[in-house]
Structure 1
Amino acid sequence: MTASTYTSDQVDDHQELSRTDERRVVLASTVGTLFEWYDFFIYGSLAVFMSSVLFPPDNPTAALLASLGALTAGFIVRPMGAILFGHLGDKLGRKVTFLLTVVLMGSATVLMGCLPSYESVGHLSWILLLILRLVQGLAVGGEYGGAVVYVAEHCSIKRRGLLTGYIQITGTAGLLLCLLVILGVQASMSTEQFKAWGWRIPFILSFILLVISVYVRAKLHESPVFARMKSQKRLSENPIRDTFMRWSSLKMMLLAMFGATMGMGATYFTGQFYVMIFLQQVVQIEQKTVYMLILVSFAIGLPTYILFAWLSDRVGRKWLMVTGLILAALCYRPMFTELLEAGNPALAAANRDKPVTLLATADQTCEARFSAALVSSHADNRKPCVLAKRYLVSRGINFEYGPPAAGQEVGISVDGQTVAGFDRSTYEKVLAAAGYPAKADAASMNTSRIIGILVLMTAMVGLIYGPVAAYLVELFPPQIRYTSLSFPYHIGAGVIGGSIPFIATYLAVSGGNVFTGLWYPVVITAAVALFGALFLPDNRKLIANETASAAH
C-alpha cells in the first residue's frame, strides 16, 4: 500500500462519542501529557542548582554550561523520539505507545532526584544525568503525537480543534505546575538547604504524577481509527519508510515544518521561555518575582489556546496560525522594549540617556566564536574584550563600539568617565555613578503593565499553538499519522524553539544590544508566515476530502 492510496478514516457523525466519554478521553490524554511536560521543564528550571552538585565544583561556569548542554541534548533527541515512538504508534497502536512514553519520562525524572553527587561518585554523576535527560527527550518526542492523535481519532471532526486544544495547554500548564512546586519547596526551607538537597524534591514528587498518569492511561481503549485499520489489515507495514521515502508524505512534512511548526516553536519558546530569561538577566528582576509574574500572566492567557482552537473549527486554522506568526514578527521587539521600560525604568533611562561606549575594535579580535559559547575553557572566553561584552549584556546594558585607547584591548566610556581594561568592580562603580542600577527596583516596577504584555504575548502564542494540533492531524493519513505528525512538530518545538534561549543570548552578546537576539525568532516567524500563507493547504479543504473519503 502506497502513501498515495491512504485515505483518512475518522469517526463519522453517526459514531460520535457521548460528551461523558469524550471528556474521559480528553482528560486521560491531557493529564498524562501535563505531567510529562512538568517532568521535562523541571530540569531546565533547576539546572543551576543541579550543576553545583552533579558537576565538578572547581569551575561553576563550566558546570552550568554543561548542565545547560544536557538540557539542549533533551531537545535535540526529541525528533528521534518522534521517529521511534511514531513508528511504534503506527504499528502497535496509540494507547500502548503513549503509555510507554509516560512511564519512561516519569521514571527518568524520579531517578534524577536520586542521582549521587559528584563528590561521591565523580564523573559518573553527570554521565547518569545526561543519559536520563536523553531518555526524557526521547519520551517527549513520542508523547505529544500520541496524545494528539488519540484525542483526534476519538472526536467529531466538527470539534477536533477544540478538543485537541486541551492538549495544547498542557505545555504551559506543565510549566506553571513546575514553577508552583519549586516556589512551594523553596518556601518550606532555607536557601542553603534548597541548594544542597531541596532541589531533589520536585523530581521525586514526580513519582506521584507517574502513578496517576499510568493508572488513568491504562484504563483507556485503543483509538477506534487504529482499531478499524488493524481489523481491516490496512496498517502501514513500515511507517518510517512510508513517511520519509514517499514524496507525498515527505512533501506534507516539509510543508508542516516550513509553514507552521518552525514558527510555532519560535513563538512558543520566545513568549514562554526566553521572556523569563530576559526578565531575569536583562531587566534584572529577582527570580521569585519573575516566577510570580509568569504564573499570574500565563494563567490569565492560557484560555486563549482553547479560544483559538475552538475558533479554528469555525473559521479555519491556516489563517489563524499565519496571523499569529505575523503578529509575533511585528510585535516582539516593541513588546520586549516595553517589558524593560515597565520592569526597570531606571535601566531603560540610563541606556537611553547615558549610552555606554565599548572601546574596542569591532572585528574578530573582540568576538567569541560560536564554539566558545559551548566550551567554557575556550581561549576566546578569556579575552578581556569578550569578558567586558558579556558583563555589560548580563547587566542589560547596551553599548556601541568606539576606538580603543593606545595599548589597551578594551575599555568603556560612559557619562564622561573612561575606564581602561576590564575590571568588574571598577565597571560597577562607574556604571552606578552613571545611573545604571544593579537590580530592578520593586517600588518603581509597573507590575500590571508587565502582566498585560505577558498576557498579550501568550495570546499571540495561542493563535498558532491552539489550532496547530488539529491542523497537523488533518494533514496526514492515519496509517502514518503518528510518525508524520510528531517529526515536524519536534523539529519546530525542539530544534528551532529549544535553541532560541541560547542563540538569542549569543546574538545579544555579539551585537552589543540586549534586543539583538530577538532577530532570530522575528526572522523565523516572518519567513514561516510567508511560506505558510503561500503554500499551506486550507484545512477546510482537507476536511472536505476526509469526509468524502470516509463516506466512500
Structure 2
Amino acid sequence: MMGFATVAVGLVPTYATIGLWAPSILIFLRMIQGLALGGEYGGAATYTAEHAPQGRRGWLTSWLQTSAPIGFTASMLFVYVMRSSMTPEAFNGWGWRVLFISSVVPLAASVWIRLKLQESPLFLKMKHEGTLSKSPIYDTLRAWPNLKRILIAMFAMVVPQSVLLVGAQIYSLVFLTGAAKVDAQIANLLVGAALMLTLPAIIFFGWLSDRYGTKIFILAACVIGTFTYLPLYKALTFYANPALYNAQTTVPVTVAADPSECSFQFNPVGTARFTSGCDIAKNALIRFGAPYSNKAEAKGTVATVFVGSKAIPLGLAGQAPNAAAFSANLKQALEQAGYPSHADTSAMNFGMIILILSALSIVAGMIFGPLASAMTDLFPPQVRYTSVSFSYHVGNGYFGGLLPAIATALQIATGDLYAGLYYVIIVSAISFFIGLFCLRSMPSTATISSAATVAAA
C-alpha cells in the first residue's frame, strides 16, 4: 500500500488538467500512506522481536530503528541532488515527480523480501492452538490491563522518544533554516551528516538494553534531554550564524501593541490567517530570527516594533495594516541593526554544528534504539502487533508531529526563539516520572512470550 501510493503521487495530474480532482486524489493517496504506515512499524517490530534469539532482542530490533534516519537522510540527499541538477522551475514543474516515481525501485525490493519471509514460530504456535485474537482492536482497548500497558507505552516510551527525536532530526532542520537563516540545502546536508554519524549509537543502545534493560536508557534520555536541549540549540545558533547570535544578544527589539490583538498562533494545518497588526509584527520578527519582548499598550493602539530606538509602526490608526510595506521596513531596520538576512557560510563552524546535531541525535537514540524491544516486551502476543502500532503512531502523531506547530506558536507568543524547546523539556520531564514509577527493568534473559506478564505484574 505504501509503495503503490507513493508512486501514484508522482503520477497525479495537475490542477490545470483535472481541477479539484487533483488535490482530492493527492489527499486520498496520503491517507493510504498513513493507513499503511500504521501497520508497518508494529508489524516490523513484532516480527523482528519474535524471531530474535533470547538475549539479543534489543540489538536486533535496533537495526529496525535505523531505517527511519536512513530513509530521512536518503530522501534529503535525493532532493538535494535533484534540485542541484535542474532549475527551480524544472524541479517545481516535473522534477519532484521523479522522486516519487523512483520509489518503485525500493517497492520492488520490499515485495521480493516479503515474499521470502515466514511467520514467527510464536505466531504459528498460536495459530495452531487457535489462540489468535479474532478482534485485535477490540481486545487491545477493551480491558484495563492492556489499556494500561498502552498508556505506559505511550507516555513513558513513545512520547519522550517522539519529542526528542523530532527535536533532534526535524525541528533542528526547521530551526536552522528559519530562526538561524541557514541555506536550506546546507542545513539538509548538515542534519543528514549528523544522522549518519549517530546511526551506530542507536544500535549501541539497543545492544546495551539486552544487558541492562530498557528502563535505564529511557529515563537517562529524558533527564539528559530536559537539561541539554536548550543550551545545545543556543550553541547551534552561535555556530551557525554568529552575526545573528550577536545581534540577538545586543540589539533589543520590542513589540508594543494592544494585547487583545495578539493571537496565540497555533496553526498545525496551515489554514488559519492572523491579520491583526500585532500578529503580523510578531510573525515577521520570528521569520527574521529576531527575538523580542512584549509591551502592552492601550486598546486600539497601532502595533509598533522598536528595533533599538527606531520605531516601525504597522500603519496609521483606523487603517488596515500594510503587511508588505511593514515587512520591508522591518527587514531594513533589522539589517541596519546587525541582523543578517542569511547565514554567512564563511563564518559557520560546520564541525561544531554537526557535533551539536549529533549530540541531539544521540540523546534521542538512547530511547529510539531500545524502543522496539521495550514495546514488544510490554504486550501479550495475541494483541502485540495492534498494541505496538496503536501506541507508537498515536504517541508520535500527536506529540512529536505537533512539535513544530507548537514551537512556532510559543515563539510568536513569547518572542523567545527557544520557547518551543520548553515543550520538549516539559514533556521529557513528565515522561521521566511516569517511566520511573511505571516501567519495570526487564531481565535480559526474559523471553518475549513471558515479558508482558513480567511488565504487568
Q: Which residue of 2 aligns with 1:267?
A: 164
SS in 2 for 1:412: strand
Given the alignment, which residue of 285, 288, 297 partners 1:395? 288
Deviation at 1:373, TM superposition (A): 7.1
Amino acid at match of 2:281: A
Q: Which residue of 2 aligns with 1:313?
A: 210
* Structure 2 residue 192 is the aligned partner of structure 1 residue 295: yes
Structure 2 CA distance for partners of 1:129 and 1:547, relative to 1, 3 Å: closer
1:520-539 matches, cutoff 5 A: 520-539=423-442
Given the alignment, which residue of 120, 123, 141 partners 2:38? 141
C-alpha contact (below 8 Å) 1:405/1:411 kept by paired residues: no
Given the alignment, which residue of 444, 455, 459 partners 2:362? 459
1:386-425 matches, cutoff 5 A: 386-404=279-297, 408-421=301-314, 423-425=326-328
Given the alignment, which residue of 427, 430, 438 partners 2:333? 430
Q: Which residue of 2 aligns with 1:484?
A: 387
Deviations 1:19-60 (A, max 9, x none): xxxxxxxxxxxxxxxxxxxxxxxxxxxxxxxxxxxxxxxxxx
Q: Which residue of 2 aligns with 1:9?
A: none
Q: Which residue of 2 aligns with 1:64?
A: none
Unaligned runs of 5+ in 2: 316-325
Q: Which residue of 1 aligns with 2:322?
A: none
CA distance in 1, matches of 2:424, 2:7: 33
Deviations 1:424-465 (A, max 9, x none): 111111111111111111111111111000111110011001
SS in 1 for 2:30: helix
* Structure 2 residue 374 is the aligned partner of structure 1 residue 471: yes
Unaligned runs of 5+ in 1: 1-103
Q: Which residue of 2 aligns with 1:160?
A: 57
* Structure 2 residue 106 is the aligned partner of structure 1 residue 209: yes
C-alpha contact (below 8 Å) 2:54/2:447 kept by paired residues: no
Amino acid at match of 1:478: P
CA distance in 1, matches of 2:48, 2:88: 43
CA distance in 2, matches of 1:542, 1:394: 53
Given the alignment, which residue of 92, 116, 135 partners 1:219? 116
Given the alignment, which residue of 140, 145, 150 partners 1:243? 140
| Higher relative helix content | 1
C-alpha contact (below 8 Å) 2:377/2:448 kept by paired residues: no
1:344-355 matches, cutoff 5 A: 344-355=241-252
CA distance in 1, matches of 2:451, 2:293: 62
Amino acid at match of 1:487: F
* Structure 2 residue 344 is the aligned partner of structure 1 residue 441: yes
CA distance in 2, matches of 1:436, 1:357: 15
C-alpha contact (below 8 Å) 1:360/1:404 kept by paired residues: yes
CA distance in 2, matches of 1:321, 1:549: 18
Deviation at 1:229, TM superposition (A): 1.0
SS in 2 for 1:127: helix
Q: Which residue of 1 aligns with 2:323?
A: none
SS in 1 for 2:51: coil
The farther-off stretch of 403-412 and 517-526 is 403-412
Sequence identity, in percent? 35
Q: Which residue of 2 aligns with 1:502?
A: 405
Structure 2 CA distance for partners of 1:133 and 1:526, relative to 1, 3 Å: same
Alignment RMSD, CA only? 2.0
Amino acid at match of 2:415: G
CA distance in 2, matches of 1:185, 1:535: 48
The alignment covers a number of residue pairs equal to 443
Structure 2 CA distance for partners of 1:548 and 1:207, relative to 1, 3 Å: closer
Deviations 1:196-253 (A, max 9, x none): 1111111010011111110111111111110111112221232222211111211111
**With CA pairs under 8 Å and 6+ residues apart, which has the higher RCO, 1 or 2?**
2
Structure 2 CA distance for partners of 1:404 and 1:443, relative to 1, 3 Å: farther
